[in-house]
Amino acid sequence: MGYENIRMETDEGVAILTIDRPKSMNALNHQTLTELAHAFDAVAQDEAVGALVVTGAGEKAFVAGADIAEMSELGAAEAQCYSRFLQESLDALERSPKPVIAAVNGFALGGGCELAMACHVRIAARSARFGQPEVNLGLIPGAGGSQRLPRIVGRGRALDLILSGDMIDADEAHRIGLVNHVVAPDELAGFVGEYAGKLQGKSPLALRRALEAVVSGAECAQDDAMRFEASLFALCFASEDMREGTRAFMEKRKASFTGR
């Protein structure tokens, strides 16, 4: 698939996906969403890729939200289909078998905040801003924001952000747990690159099982999630990576994982 609104690059096993609509503050229109869904699937299936970084073009915006002009033309039935398409696309990202890192370089509002929340780790420039301002348009979040935000920051903080529609800065986002790391704007790319590179040294199978345990386990009752964790833990013991990792530890050397 040829991309018009996103760019894909790969650097030493790390795929870098850049949403490239800077004149529209990287707003998510239907074409962009279709391209993102295709790119997410391609990365998940590419054995040469160990991690994915998602970011926005330019210095102002990660993703400033949905394309309001396009969205305003929808009827109620079309809006429900649109919401489900958004949700399914971001669900696929969250369920990626490979770590996904959001490099938030600017405004992450509405759909942009929802996209960041679907990533497994969020690293923000200090100039970044976050928010779910849909109520200001007579709307509510439609790409999973009303569900992911409470799970990440707690119900009270999530309701405060969703009901007020207010923006918060990167430091506040870090304080409430929405963001994992905050760095200076000119250090963002380097920090994210180092973080993704660090993950490249881990067992791909262990990363995959850990992601599966956390993401899928969160949807279960705790007893069921514990049993699920135990089954994934056991599967690790059937892998060459587990044998290599434990052997390397005892031999006091760096492990060389193969993903098998």
Taking only the tens place, the pLDDT of each residue in 201-222 is 889 899 999 999 999 988 888 9
User: Do residues 126 and 214 share a domain?
Assistant: no
Among left, alpha and beta (phi > 0; psi -120 to 50; other), residue 70 is alpha
Residue 114 is among the residues annotated as catalytic for this protein: yes
Same domain membership, residue 106 and residue 196: yes
What is the domain-level CATH number for residue 212? 1.10.12
Known catalytic residue at 187:
no
Instruction: In whole angstroms, give the CA distance from residue 47 to residue 41.
Output: 12
**One-letter amino acid for residue 56 of the chain:** G
Which strand (E) or helix (H) includes residue 167?
strand 167-169
Helix (H) or strand (E) holding 135: none
Segment 33-40 mean pLDDT: 92
Question: pLDDT by residue (tens digit) across 161-216?
Answer: 999 999 999 999 999 999 999 999 999 999 999 999 999 888 989 999 999 999 99
Q: Could you give the number of structural domains in the chain? A: 2
pLDDT at 72: 84
| pLDDT above 90 coverage of the chain, percent | 76
Judgement on whether residues 181 and 216 belong to the same structural domain of the protein? no
Q: Which residue among 134, 172, 229, 244 is the active-site one?
A: 134
15: which 2 tokens?
């795929």
The reply to whether 30 and 150 lie within a common domain is yes
pLDDT in tens, 75-85: 999 999 999 99
CATH number of the domain to which 170 belongs: 3.90.226.10
Whether residue 90 sits in one domain with residue 14:
yes
186 and 114 in a common domain: yes
Q: Report the C-alpha gap between 97 and 95 in whole angstroms.
A: 6
Which helix (H) or strand (E) segment is 10 a member of? strand 6-11
| Rounded distance between C-alpha atoms, residue 254 and residue 228, angstroms | 29
Domain that residue 218 falls in: 204-250
CB 35 within 8 A of CB 2: no
Does the residue 239 lie in any domain? yes
| 211 and 106 within one domain | no
Residue 1 has pLDDT above 70, yes or no: no
Beta strands in 82-166 (DSSP E): 100-104, 107-109, 121-125, 129-131
**Residue 1 placed within a domain:** no
> Are 112 and 187 within one domain?
yes
Q: Please indicate, yes or no, if residue 258 is contained in any of the structural domains.
A: no
Q: What's the order of all strands across the beta sheet hosting 6-11?
A: 6-11, 14-19, 51-56, 100-104, 121-125, 181-183
Contact 86, 50 (CB under 8 A): no
DSSP-derived letter for residue 73 is T
Whether 162 and 243 share a structural domain: no
Same domain, 137 and 227: no
Catalytic entry in 70, 73, 78, 114 = 114
